[in-house]
Amino acid sequence: SKADMAGQIDVNLLKIGTELMLSNGLKCAVTEITDDNFTIDANPPLAGASYAAKVTLKAVEDAPINLEYLPMGSEGKYKVATFGLGCFWGGELAFMRQRGVVGTKVGYTQGEVENPDYKQVCSGNTGHTEAIMVTYDPTEVTYENLVHLAMDRLGESKYLLNQVGNDRGTQYRHGVYYHDDEQKTVAEKIVGDFGDDCVTEVKPASKFWDAEEYHQQYLLKGGQSARKGDESSIRCYG
């Protein structure tokens, strides 16, 4: 209400469209004002919007075929990397913004149950963790860069077992899942540099089951930017 906020802002200056900064650093806009209250909207500007675009298909290139661990790796222009970073929505958007990343998808890996669904994985009984599979061009971005991005996303959660932020459970455990021995060497070195207290697991990539379609590029669908190089805050909520 206006009365509650009177000591923090001059409510008499509020207008429809006035931009405010929340205590968590996110921006919002005033959308409605009454005598006693005002309403704000912190959604991204494109949330709920639709658009049309004309595109021209210039080429079709082969995607990586082998998506599990293969010691010597596989041939081809593009490579694959897999990461567990807790809830996969925010992590996927971060990788989508990375130059050199040409494709992403979210799903479930490191488990025993065949073709699990979201509800099964969330039960914690399938052994899976939520994960992001990244297809990238190694001439534009190195695997080392991607691992550093993943560890930066984890922040202090890299020291928490089976937990990222407020998400707890084995289905939210964090890990770097290498696809060949070269990736293994890089991943072990970077994760190892955080010391013995770091509990991010480093394991060979195993079967990756695609998550349901509504999870794919979830935050982009919600209006958040996936533009390459975008540094705006990623808001991980539905």
**DSSP conformational letter for 191:** H
CA 21 from centre of chain: 24
Residue with tokens 């794919």, as numbered in its chain? 216
**Residue 17, token pair as written in the block:** 């469209």
**DSSP conformational letter for 215:** G
Describe the crossing of helices 181-192 and 143-154 by its angle, rounded to 10 degrees: 40
Cα separations in angstroms, 206 against 15, 51, 82, 100 = 54, 37, 10, 24
**What backbone phi and psi angles, to 5 degrees, belong to 89?**
-60, -55
Respond yes or no: is residue 28 known to be catalytic: no
Contacts of 174 (CB under 8 A, 6+ apart): 83, 84, 85, 86, 129, 154, 157, 158, 164, 199, 200, 201
Cross-strand partners of 71: none
Catalytic residue among 87, 122, 198, 236: 87
**What backbone phi and psi angles, to 5 degrees, belong to 175?**
-165, 160
Distance (Å, rounded) from C-alpha 41 to C-alpha 182? 46
CA 164 from centre of chain: 12
The set of catalytic residues is 87
